[in-house]
Amino acid sequence: LTCPIYLAALGREAAFGDMVKPFVLKNIVDTNNFSSIISTGSQGNEIIASIPENLRQNLLDGMNGVASNLGVSVPQGYTLYAKTGTAETWLGDFLYITGCVKNSNDTGSATYETYENYGNSGSYIIVLQVQNPDYHGFKFASESARLYQGIVDIAVGN
């Protein structure tokens, strides 16, 4: 079964070559005293899977082609890599678009304490899942590209 966090992790892996642990905990604290740290949390960018170097560019080229076919635009300085499909979930099938709006300055190795300066170098992994696609008039995920465009516009301030 496919969940959005897994699709996001896959999108990140495709764009940067490595899948990092999707959950990062800053600290584990005492629930009775939140200023008391019991132990430090997980480290950012902990790699849990990688795409072989020799396959990465072909994957990016294919995902860039999918993005071009969707007609979703991104601002200068960004490239969109996308994958569409049907996700099997515990609530039935969902249509999805998973993509990375990759900032040309992003190497995938930075970590951020806040999102204050994120727009200068950060990329965005955006997952759109459409439940009950027939109700919305969608037979294929690509038909929901206008919804995806709206989310991209919000994320990058387009």
Residue 79 exposure: Cα atoms within 13 Å on the Cβ side? 13
Q: What is the mean pLDDT of residues 136-143?
A: 92
User: What pLDDT sits at residue 24?
Assistant: 66
Element (DSSP H or E) covering residue 4: helix 4-16
Return all residues near 52 (Cβ < 8 A) that are at least 6 apart.
none
State how far the Cα of 12 lies from the Cα of 5, in Å rounded to an integer: 11
Q: How many CB atoms lie within 10 A of CB 9?
A: 21
Per-residue pLDDT, 125? 92
Position 19 scores a pLDDT of: 87
SS3 75: coil
User: Under a CB-based contact definition with an 8 Å cutoff, are residues 56 and 17 in contact?
Assistant: yes
